Structure 1
Amino acid sequence: MATRARAAFVSRHQLVLALLSTLLLVCIWYFGSQPGRSSDPLPVVPTTLGCTTRARSSTWFDNCFNSSLSPVWTPANKRLPPHVHDWWLGLQQQGDVGLPVVLAKLFRLIRARKRAATERSEIACLTCALVGNSGNLKDSGFGHEIDAHTYVLRMNRAPTLGFQRDVGSKTTHHFMYPESATNAGENCSHVIIPFKVLDLLWVISALGKGWITKTYAPVLRFLHTRPENVHIYNPAFMKYVHDNWIDGHGRYPSTGMLAVIFSLHICHMVDAYGFGADERGNWHHYWENNRYAGEFRLTGVHDADAEYDVLLQLAALGHIRLRRPS
């Protein structure tokens, strides 16, 4: 009888030890696999890509890149240096009537309630897919690869519906100015590029009662998004792109060039899609049937060749990867 009791006790003791061992293994696996733990110092980010690229050192890049500048205009940096103020207001020559009052009202409206995806994290591996509008995206099949990035940046009226196989469907940042604005989704960051005080007023209008329907061209009446998802491109950053990166070529940088440098400031790895001409040397948009449209190069406002040269140089140094169909 005593022998059976002793055997039962030993059996129960072994069972308890086995359960405790299993629980310990589960705890080790769970806590060891959590973001920020010692076995995995980088938090998990929603991407299937890794920050595996290493840029080569370059005096040119070091002279161009200014990490102290924020790409986004906020209450903290709302006061523009005089040379930036004058340059910015001269772009479309409409003056600064009411600028301080407009900015105060705008920043009250769009005050972010959480950390915005407009800053580079020093602990996460953040990857950007910068999607241009070139016709070379047609039949590229890049859609799935694009959507695998942490951030997907698009611009102006670029559509995704009907083109998902080539351009993807995910959008986290959409760059636009009032005359090119589109509703990019309630949870998407709408990055507004202002060229005049009226553009700032348009943001207030589009998030409110929609009283502005035209500037020099018809504009979108409403932005269907939360105010905290609207970010204003910093005119000082725009001037920095114009001066440092494209050496003053063109009247001001294109939306694409502004997005390129923006992405360098918020991501550790940047893949650029849909930039440059197609395989026949034509410049047009991927959603256009007219292969010979090329209106970007005909505006006279931007220097497409100078901007593309910067893109090629960034790619050669490993700061971006220029993705084109093989």
Structure 2
Amino acid sequence: MAGFLAEHFGSCSRHALAEETSCGGLCAEKGGAAAGVCAGAQLQPGSMADLATQPSKRKRELDAEEAEAASTEAKEAGVENGTSAPVRLPFSGFRVKKVLRESARDKIIFLHGKVNEASGDGDGEDAIVILEKTPFQVEQVAQLLMGSPELQLQFSNDIYSTYHLFPPRQLSDVKTTVVYPATEKHLEKYLRQDLHLVRETGADYKNVTLPHLESQSLSIQWVYNILDKKAEADRIVFENPDPSDGFVLIPDLKWNQQQLDDLYLIAICHRRGIRSLRDLTPEHLPLLRNILREGQVARGSRDDSSPQEPCYPLRNMISKSRLKLLAMLTLVLIVMVWYSISREDRYIELFYFPSPEKKEPCFQGEAERKASKLFGNYSRDQPIFLQLKDYFWVKTPSAYELPYGTKGSEDLLLRVLAITSYSIPESIQSLKCRRCVVVGNGHRLRNSSLGDAINKYDVVIRLNNAPVAGYEGDVGSKTTMRLFYPESAHFNPKVENNPDTLLVLVAFKAMDFHWIETILSDKKRVRKGFWKQPPLIWDVNPRQVRILNPFFMEIAADKLLNLPMQQPRKIKQKPTTGLLAITLALHLCDLVHIAGFGYPDAHNRKQTIHYYEQITLKSMAGSGHNVSQEALAIKRMLEIGAVKNLTFF
């Protein structure tokens, strides 16, 4: 259902304020729009002839004939745009039946009445009239005391005096909202009710809230009127017309259209089918980001607006209050994202918004302490990269074959270690507290605009052949380490990396050592033994190449995925490079964030899984990776705070 913000916060009502306000008392100028309704007066049901004079029967018949001549489409849609000409209420007469709510503090009252009653027969229709005293406008308040204002003394005591001041008409307007015709549900909605704080779970929403929403029949035709430009087109502040991720930004009726301090905007999305915030899923994040970011466009385009442009006065006013508008949009976005991420158990509630301007505080050893809940008390003395000295004289042979160990591949490995390096750059080694981010390859990075934030981390770890060139705005340009294996080495090392990037080989089989040796030593290339042909020419400096310690593969398989250490020779399941990179980061770093992790739901066969290529989840079949089990492992890391997520998961 379009307009989920308006529907959720206002329960399909344009007067969202009525949802939260308790009421009592209203003061208006004599002869004004609400004559006879004064602060402190006990309003009893009765005639309100001063509000709208009862017309004659012939007059009502003429009005009906004029109404029939109006546009059928506009009449069915309930459309009537305001004009500068004098207007009348959309009914004749208003007999007060009940005060639904009232608030002296908020200067507002909600009235239920009967309208269009035939004389003496008691028939008529229900209507709700909401009267609200508008706040003072600072630039006009001086006019109240200019000249000789009409005053009525109430009492005087020493230096203190209290008067009734009767302001000029232009300073005493009463905002009047009409709900007509009003149904029983409208009356229940505006009736004073006790409020209760309820913690709603996903199951509560499914079993209680959703059936209630589906049973409601309150009209939201006003939403469609706005989206279709049949009404209030001149009040639209900004619009993104995209049918999926677009929205309309428009002032809510609770705003008096004069006082900027009380400006209240609602965002109505073009996408249909969203009934409440609980219906939001991660796929709606582009919409939520648009509401936040493009709200700035609503301000940016105002400087060139002309006085004849729709909503020009409002745009000039908002241009003076940019920070307030952005703060409001940010708050709305955070609330919506929280509901989106926490809607079901499969979505992690932890969702971190990085600040491009500043770094998050880093505490030495924090990642290690939290990771110990997953890995146990394993030693951090394990080297990250394999070293030649450990294999020149093999003192403790590995217990496992690749990928969990190097048993049976020592000779090949020895030749590779002789031409590569193992050191960690001094710029990283010397850091007292290391901030790291592991950048996954997921489609969720597309249009994320995380590039600047990613570049501010001390260590940026990337995976396989994920490109940087052309995607800098979303994924950044800094690369400290790139984990890869031969079949994923189809990238230009000089274009997609920095000059000092470490290229870290993740060996799954002995042929992986053979391939890197032939590439670095320019020997005869091998073409067999790979599930996909690796590159035959790879322009890379051998001093930038590192060999990852299989210890991290073992830890990820054993502690995170609970895979058996003794598997058949052809291992059926193994960790992905992404999970391996997170395991490595928890060993190397003090603060670990991740971005771009997670796959589409299993039933979603069309959603691409990478931000840079059009392949789907079907390509993962037969890969030896259990993505569902890995998702649970990452979820546990997020829940205990070992890592934080820059994108949804």
Q: TM-score, normalised by structure 2?
A: 0.38
Higher relative contact order (CA closer than 8 Å, sequence separation 6+): 1
Aligned-partner Cα distance in 1 for 2:581–2:518: 24
Q: Closer, same or farther in 2 for the Cα pair 1:295/1:213, shift >3 Å?
A: farther
More moved, 191-200 vs 101-110:
101-110
Aligned partner of 1:111 in structure 2 is: 421
Aligned-partner Cα distance in 2 for 1:83–1:207: 28
Structure 2 letter corresponding to 1:277: Y
More moved, 193-202 vs 63-72:
63-72
Structure 2 letter corresponding to 1:83: A
Q: Percent of aligned pairs with the same residue?
A: 24
Q: Closer, same or farther in 2 for the Cα pair 1:252/1:120, shift >3 Å?
A: farther
One of 84, 88, 105 as aligned partner of 2:400:
84
Q: Closer, same or farther in 2 for the Cα pair 1:57/1:179, shift >3 Å?
A: closer
Q: Within the alignment, does 1:128 sit opposite 2:436 as a pair? A: yes
One of 336, 358, 382 as aligned partner of 1:69:
382
Q: How many residues align?
A: 270
Q: Closer, same or farther in 2 for the Cα pair 1:239/1:118, shift >3 Å?
A: farther
Q: Closer, same or farther in 2 for the Cα pair 1:283/1:313, shift >3 Å?
A: farther
Alignment RMSD (CA, Å): 3.2
Q: Within the alignment, does 1:254 sit opposite 2:576 as a pair? A: yes
Aligned-partner Cα distance in 2 for 1:273–1:206: 31
Q: Closer, same or farther in 2 for the Cα pair 1:144/1:58, shift >3 Å?
A: closer
Aligned-partner Cα distance in 2 for 1:151–1:72: 16
Q: Closer, same or farther in 2 for the Cα pair 1:61/1:254, shift >3 Å?
A: same
Structure 2 letter corresponding to 1:71: I
Structure 2 letter corresponding to 1:271: H
Structure 2 letter corresponding to 1:305: S
Q: Closer, same or farther in 2 for the Cα pair 1:315/1:89, shift >3 Å?
A: closer
More helix by share: 1
Q: Closer, same or farther in 2 for the Cα pair 1:59/1:319, shift >3 Å?
A: closer
Aligned-partner Cα distance in 1 for 2:448–2:371: 32
Q: Closer, same or farther in 2 for the Cα pair 1:231/1:119, shift >3 Å?
A: farther
Aligned partner of 2:613 in structure 1 is: 288
One of 616, 634, 649 as aligned partner of 1:311:
634
Structure 1 letter corresponding to 2:488: S
Aligned-partner Cα distance in 1 for 2:403–2:517: 23
Aligned partner of 1:41 in structure 2 is: none
- Conserved? CA contact 2:374–2:559, under 8 Å: no
Q: Within the alignment, does 1:164 sit opposite 2:472 as a pair? A: yes
1:254-277 deviation line (CA, Å, top 9, x unaligned): 111111101111111111000013
Aligned-partner Cα distance in 2 for 1:296–1:66: 37
- Conserved? CA contact 2:485–2:505, under 8 Å: yes
Aligned partner of 1:36 in structure 2 is: none
Aligned partner of 1:200 in structure 2 is: 513
One of 522, 525, 532 as aligned partner of 1:209:
522
Aligned-partner Cα distance in 2 for 1:58–1:180: 28
Post-superposition shift, 1:59?
6.5
- Conserved? CA contact 1:48–1:149, under 8 Å: no
Aligned partner of 2:353 in structure 1 is: none
User: How is 1:147-186 mapped onto 2 (pairs within 5 angstroms)?
Assistant: 147-181=455-489, 182-185=491-494, 186=499
One of 517, 541, 553 as aligned partner of 1:226:
541
Post-superposition shift, 1:224?
2.4
Aligned partner of 1:25 in structure 2 is: none
Aligned partner of 1:23 in structure 2 is: none
- Conserved? CA contact 2:385–2:547, under 8 Å: yes
Extract unaligned runs of 5+ from structure 2.
1-356, 565-571
Q: Within the alignment, does 1:102 sit opposite 2:427 as a pair? A: no
